Structure 1
Amino acid sequence: MVRGIAEHGYRCLPAFSYMIGALNVGITYSIMVNKVDCRFMYYFLSLGPCIRGFAHIRKVIVVDDTHLYGKYEGVLLSAVAQDTENYIYPISFCIFDKDNDASWTFFFENLKSIMVDGPDLCFISDRHNNIANGIAKAYNHAHHGYCISHLGENLWVNYHCGEKHYLFYKMVKIYSLEDFSDHFVGFKNYCPEAAFFLEHELGFENWSRAYFPSNRFNVMAINIVESVSAMLIAKREYPVASIFNLIAKRFGEIFRERHAYVLK
């Protein structure tokens, strides 16, 4: 769905989308511009093979953003999953002008058109309010969990757990509610303020594996999506069309390599 004509380095996006769509059956994309001055605001893209293959992937979507720099600026968002062999699986990419509630809502509304809402679906992200608000507006049944790496860093900086900081990571990965309770009591004795924050301000269900209402599998952090962002870092100062051209080219190569491997 094209919603306008983008300006200032983004004019070629509609043509680019049609071109890449011819090579990727089932592609989904959306462009939105400001109606007043026709300046580019949002662009969402998900390749056809990525959409179709998600039916066979663990229903855990990891989202994160990275800031672009140079002449065009903006924010690049990536959403990825993980297959049963722990390979990173790309789902969709989005670029927006500003990191706010409106842009994240645009992303999740477009994502919902290809990733159906349901209690078996969950999202993993950092504790970004805009992400949480976007998920809440678009998805009524999916669950949202926090990245334990970012949360652990927050505890280290703000609550100074010292040598007992490792207890947090032990609690996170426990499956049994009984074992979790035992470990949490021990953690609470050493770091009462951090324990209060984890229990009453965040809630166990948002970060612990034992209380999480869906299956996070082994996806406890957002490092897989950060790996994708790192792969694209060299193009972050380029126009948007160049960035998405790299995305289509690189992941097209990966899909072909994996397909050849499977055929053997």
Structure 2
Amino acid sequence: MEALKQSNPGIVVVWKHKALVDDVYYSNMEVFERVFWTFGPCVEGFKHCMSVICIDGTHLYGKFKGTLLVATGVDANFQVFPLAFALVEGENISSWSWFLGCIRVHVTQRDGLCVISDRHAGIIAVMNDPNVGFTEPRAYHRFYVRHLASNLKTHVRRNDMRDMFKVAAYQRQERKLVADMSLIGQACTKAIQYIVQVPLPMWSLFHDVGRRYGICTTNFSETFNNVLKGARFLPIMSLVEFTFHRVNKYFTDRRELSQTRSEQGLAYSPKVTSIMEKNIAKARYHKVEAYNRRLHIYQVETKRGDRIGRKGGHRHTVNFQLRTCTCNKPRIFHLPCSHVLAVCVKYSISERPWVDRVLQSEAYANTYAPQFSQDRTILGATD
């Protein structure tokens, strides 16, 4: 039996109890089974984040057993964004289905979400269940590259195959991906047989078409697990309250930074600004030639200049109408590459349309603008 408890519009907790325990039915007693919780500011803030959700599970320690399921988003600064939590009996199809179902009901109804996870069988089954609400095109499932690479290493017992696979996964151009896959096949038949069993869009940046914003690692979920360090020893109510305080502090710190940048008129978050500056530095060594000024099509040739280890001599076509570059970086990362910026600099064109809305300072400020309420009576609630 499920019960929703909500002391104010800003906090949602869903309890799930059971009366059947070890095949024994208790008519006058309900036994705790699961609890899901999220906070209003997280729900509101996520509307301004990337359309990406990272999900992960971590075991509880000490006297209180179970598994803590955590869903996080990614903000405009490419930092983890806390979204929802659940305490369940373990990772299985039923618990993941319930958790993701609660997210659909209480957190977000956004379509086109990219859900990134490990290859847990329960998650895979739930993502393919139309009743939960995460099948395509409402959502797209992707795997953490590092998790796949680790599994590959275990499967073939070769560190070099793990590393070669990661290089292939991060390739943004098809010819380079094909070449890397060929090398893996020549080096280890068992490795390539393992890899081809996994659909390309699940791990290849080139085939992802930008749904994951270039996010391939487990760092985002692991980072927030570090934020919750120490919480896994706590009883249920203390765990919920602990997340309240930690997430509130997380919002407060980032609210000050994001609002300051917005007030200063800075267009992008610190991380995006850093990426743009590096790309602008590269653009200085590019040669731009107009192919069709009316259609805004340009060819950009890379030059090595004084950069050590850079070969140069590559040519890419930039189309401003379609917002594409043959390097594929704008499509994958939703940011202008150095080739685009070289054109922008030469012809005094704004790069702003190439920067995804959720990566700009306004979205960054709006993400952390919602305030947490001091009313926490929900933390003592029962159904």
Matches within 5 A, 1:36-51: 36=20, 37=26, 38-51=30-43
What residue in structure 1 maps to residue 135 of structure 2?
A: 140
SS of 1:211 mapped into structure 2 = helix
Q: Give per-residue Cα distances to partners, 1:116-152, cap 9 Å, x unaligned.
A: 252x311111110011122222212211111111111
Q: How many residues align?
A: 246
How far has the Cα of 1:61 moved from its partner? 0.8
CA distance in 2: counterparts of 1:54 and 1:215, whole angstroms: 16
- The residue number in structure 2 matching 1:109 is 101
1:242 aligns with 2:241: no
Structure-2 change in CA distance of 1:154 and 1:72 (3 Å): same
1:173 aligned partner: 170
Q: 2:44 aligns with which of 24, 29, 52?
A: 52
Q: What's the Cα RMSD here?
A: 2.0
User: Whose helix fraction is larger, Structure 1's or Structure 2's?
Assistant: 1
Q: Distance in 1 between matches of 2:97 and 2:210?
A: 23
Please identify runs of 4+ aligned residues in structure 1 that moved more than 4 A.
none
Q: Is the CA contact 2:72–2:221 (under 8 Å) kept in the aligned structure 1?
A: yes
Q: Which runs of 5+ in 2 are unaligned?
A: 21-25, 261-383
Match of 1:92 in 2: 84
**Offset, 1:255:** 1.0
Does the C-alpha gap of structure 1 residues 196 and 235 become closer, same or farther in structure 2, counting only changes over 3 Å?
same
Q: TM-score, normalised by structure 2?
A: 0.60
**Percent of aligned positions that are identical:** 24
- Which residue type is aligned with residue 29 of structure 1? V
AA matched with 2:135: N
- How far residue 252 of structure 1 moved from its aligned partner, in angstroms, is 0.5
Residue 127 (structure 1) aligned with residue 119 (structure 2): yes
State the alpha-carbon separation in 2 of the partners of residues 102 and 164 from structure 1. 34
Alignment of 1:157-236 (within 5 A): 157-199=154-196, 201-212=197-208, 214-236=210-232
How far off is 1:30 after superposition?
1.0
Report the CA distance between 1:164 and its aligned residue: 4.7
Structure 1 gap ranges (5+):
5-13
1:214 CA drift (Å):
5.0
C-alpha contact (below 8 Å) 1:117/1:140 kept by paired residues: no
2:73 pairs, out of 81, 85, 88, with 81
Shift of 1:258: 2.1
Residue 162 and residue 226 in structure 1: after superposition, are their counterparts in 2 closer, same or farther (change >3 A)? Answer: closer
CA distance in 2 between partners of 1:74 and 1:54 (Å): 27
Say whether residues 1:33 and 2:13 are aligned partners: no
